[in-house]
Amino acid sequence: MRRRRIAFALAACMCMVLTVSVIALWETFRPGDAQAEGRATTVHPIGGKTTRSHQSPTPEVTQRMASSATRLRQIDRFTGGITPKSVDASGHGLVLANNMIYSHSITVYDSTSHKLVKRLPDSLDLSKFGFTKHKGVAQGGPVEAAWTKDAKYAYVSNYVMSGPGFKGFAKDECSPKSGFDNGFVYRFNARTMAWDQAIEVGAVPKFVAITPDQKKVVISNWCDFTISIIDRATAKQTKVIKLAAQPRGIVIMPDNKTAYVAAMYGNKVFRVNMETGEHHVIMDVNRPRHLVLSPDSKTLYLAASGTNRVYKIDTATDKVVAEVVSGPEPRSMTMSQDGTALYVVNYFGKSASKITTADMKVVQQVPTDASPIGITYDDVTHQVWVACYGGSMLVFDDSKKAPASGAPTGSEPAPQVDSTATATAK
């Protein structure tokens, strides 16, 4: 009898152990629970389809520390028939690059794998979009892009149109008297991986910005000294505001009506009321090119190619509160998701600088290929993409903590330079 009780107890214990093991195994492998697996789940809209991948946690995906405490580390470089002038991450798994205008194409990449998803030519029959005087295939020449907040679309500016009904010629040294054709903005559809809108704007459109409420697209028109305001609902230009020579960088405040615009050859930065058209100069500076707004919109950052500096401006007063030398000919900038770090490409310096925004110090400068001109920060992976005009794309991880003081970082602080070299390829 005693032996039977012991055997029964042992059997019961074994059943309990087996049950617990099965439950544990189910908790480990049950579908749809990436956190229980200890894996990150990412969704990427590629080619009109949604693909789901489960990965082991990586610093690129799981970073939680402030970007001011991390340091850049190059993890990829690729070429392959590209001449990227600008690059923009969607924040939802895609990165779009505009190739040099005479390459007549954009390339779209998966932000995690860095693999090419789509190469799309800028060829379009504008008559199919209502522009009847342009029957037949025209080409654009992509320059810059801006993604919508939901990453369903990206608006791309085209420098100069060629084909039926166009003169097919423009140049950077220009004015409203040049008589260049109006340009077009195309809308890229991330689901179909195709152009689905064409919108006529001013002469030689460059920078693209979208209002925070997502209702309007704002374009800087390089050769007629204006900005165009597009209504997204109708896909038409509704307002034109004239500023000064060669407007380029644009940011828009949370009120959806106040914009800051850098007039690069006018050597001025404007604050513009987009509803009334009223505007005034907040700063005179040599060749202001690019603007970035902090996540809380309290601070405006300006890259001025003519001074080699990045300026920090208080949007409450429109006054400069700090500045730093970035490197020779700073061009484009991007900001980390948390706003603690700013990244700047130095066109003549073959480098990119990382600046901590709290104290405006260059904490790192990494080498790049020749002519770095575009840069973007991807929120999904905490990676920085650098477009080099000569034909390459570099990718840097920025999720790892900075080495302890005195340890090598693989780069040096930015040199204090004051280049006066003539700028090209704006």
226-243 tens-digit pLDDT: 999 999 999 999 999 999
Q: What does DSSP assign to residue 143?
A: E
Phi/psi at 70 (nearest 5 deg)? -105, 170
131-155 tens-digit pLDDT: 999 999 999 999 999 999 999 999 9
Domain presence at residue 145 = yes
Give the model's confidence band at 9: pLDDT under 50 very low, under 70 low, under 90 confident, else very high: low
Q: Can you give the pLDDT at residue 405?
A: 62
Domain presence at residue 150 = yes
Q: What is the mean pLDDT of the chain?
A: 85
CATH number, domain containing residue 330: 2.130.10.10
- Span 334-341, average pLDDT: 97
Domain presence at residue 57 = no
Q: Can you give the pLDDT at residue 403?
A: 83
Question: Is the pTM higher than 0.85?
Answer: no
In contact, 312 and 360? CB cutoff 8 Å: yes
Q: Can you give the pLDDT at residue 63?
A: 54
Give the model's confidence band at 426: pLDDT under 50 very low, under 70 low, under 90 confident, else very high: low
Q: How many domains does the chain have?
A: 1
Domain presence at residue 22 = no
Cα→Cα distances 91→156, 224, 292, 351, Å: 17, 32, 16, 24
Domain presence at residue 324 = yes
* Interacting residues of 261 by C-beta distance below 8 A, sequence separation 6+: 220, 227, 243, 247, 248, 249, 250, 269, 270, 272, 279, 291
- Count how many residues are written for the chain: 426
Q: Which domain holds residue 190?
A: 72-397
Q: Is the pLDDT of residue 409 over 70?
A: no
Domain presence at residue 35 = no
* Interacting residues of 65 by C-beta distance below 8 A, sequence separation 6+: 401
Domain presence at residue 262 = yes
Q: Can you give the pLDDT at residue 402?
A: 86
- Span 103-122, average pLDDT: 97
Domain presence at residue 220 = yes
